[in-house]
Structure 1
Amino acid sequence: MEKRITFNELRKIKDSLPDGSIRQIAQEFELKEETVRNYFGGANYTDGKAVGIHMEPGPNGGIVLLDDTAILERAQQLAGTAV
């Protein structure tokens, strides 16, 4: 399921995650931690992979189009911000 979110909103969710959440998400989805970080706007493609996010310039850091929301939904659960 696709979702549009501002980059600032995406980073706010990442910054709200409890310690160890990136590792937990990576284990649950069988991904490298750097790949999960890339989902939240990181750019380490040596140790992690691209994860289906597309960024467009704009207000609030720009608009991010997420091809798959599973990682976002899990992060929201862990951060206590699930909608």
Structure 2
Amino acid sequence: MRTITFNELRRIKDSLPSGSMHRIADELNMTVETVRNFFGGHNFKNGKSVGIHLEPGPDGGLVMLDDTTVLEKALQILRETEEKITQEV
């Protein structure tokens, strides 16, 4: 289990390059809506719950993640993007 602030989770999502939600969904064999639900979406008709628990508080509140697989994949994509930018400079 991992705890981060809701604003940090949204910052990570907003920093991902275009198409990342689809890439994460494809690589983890889940629907795009389920990935979006991980980042705070609420589409449970087409997506599943992803084991996040929200508690009110400063900085958007706290998010407790039961499974960090989606987060780890998102952070991997951000690292790859940073490396690519660094190599181009």
Asked if Structure 1 and Structure 2 have the same fold, meaning a TM-score greater than 0.5 normalized by the shorter chain, the answer is: yes
Residue type at the aligned position of 2:37: N
Counting aligned pairs with the same residue, the percent is 60
CA RMSD of superposed structures (Å): 1.1
**What runs of 5+ residues in structure 2 fail to find an aligned partner?**
81-89
Q: Which residue of 1 aligns with 2:55?
A: 56
Show the counterpart of 1:18: 17
Q: Which amino acid aligns with 1:32?
A: T
| 2:51 equivalent to 1:39 | no
- Distance in 1 (CA, whole Å) between partners of 2:53 and 2:39 is 11
The residue aligned with 2:74 is 75
Q: How many residues align?
A: 80
CA–CA separation in structure 1 for the residues paired with 2:53 and 2:30? 19
Greater share of helix: 2
Q: What 5-or-longer segments of structure 1 have no aligned partner?
A: none
Higher relative contact order (CA 8 A, sep 6+): 1
* Ranges of 4+ aligned residues in structure 1 off by more than 3 Å: none
Post-superposition offset of 1:39: 0.2
Q: Which residue of 1 aligns with 2:85?
A: none
Cα distance, 1:80 vs structure 2: 2.5
Give SS of 1:51's match: coil
How far off is 1:79 after superposition? 1.7
Structure 1 length normalisation: TM-score? Answer: 0.93
